[in-house]
Amino acid sequence: MNPSMPMMGQPMAGFYGQPQYPAGDPMWGYFTAIAGQDGEVDAEELQRCLTQAGVHGTYTPFSLETCRIMIAMLDRDHTGKMGFNEFKELWAALSAWKQNFCTFDHDRSGSVEPHELNQAIMSMGYRLNPNTLNTIVKRYSKSGRIYFDDYVACCVKLRALTGKVMTPCFQPSFCGFCSFKKDLFWNMYANQKI
């Protein structure tokens, strides 16, 4: 038996103690190239990665704050950083959000107008009343337009809130209460009272 070969059923050691991922996974190579010494990606590394990869397309690079909230959305171990699986999940979400944004950025200006934001949010399955949408527009717009960086920040917050806070809405014993209070909740969030 060759001591350098792993035994059947044992995980192979990988990058900084993480399991080794298939060589055919292009994301693994990219992840290892940008991850820090600890084998995880922090907000500054994510910002550099997304800028170099051109995820923002012709749009402005992501702010450090948007990178922080993207990491926080997926940071299950509360390290303030992302491991490989979290990185892959974020990459998939960003791809979907970018495609959605481009669909509604009709003039290809790199921003959407409030009515386009409403269409984009509705296409993701969210139904917001006009007052709530107005509050979100005020929170995320610059001169009445929402740029890609702020659009992603909005998507992250919507996903985080609906994934954690709104989960009780899908339990029969909470339906009436949650659906009645949802618009108030969104308004409070958008005004940063929570």
Whether residue 99 is predicted with pLDDT greater than 90 in this model: the reply is yes
| Residue pLDDT, tens place only, 2-28 | 333 333 333 344 445 555 555 677 888
Structure pTM? 0.72
Residue 85 tokens read as 């699986």
Is residue 163 very low, low, confident or very high in pLDDT (cuts 50, 70, 90)? low
**Can you tell me the distance from the alpha carbon of 104 to that of 157, in angstroms, rounded to the nearest whole number?**
19
* Inter-residue contact 128 to 183 (CB < 8 Å): yes
Q: What is the DSSP letter of 70?
A: H
Among 76-85, 109-118, 164-173, the least confident range: 164-173
pLDDT confidence bin for 127, thresholds 50/70/90 = confident
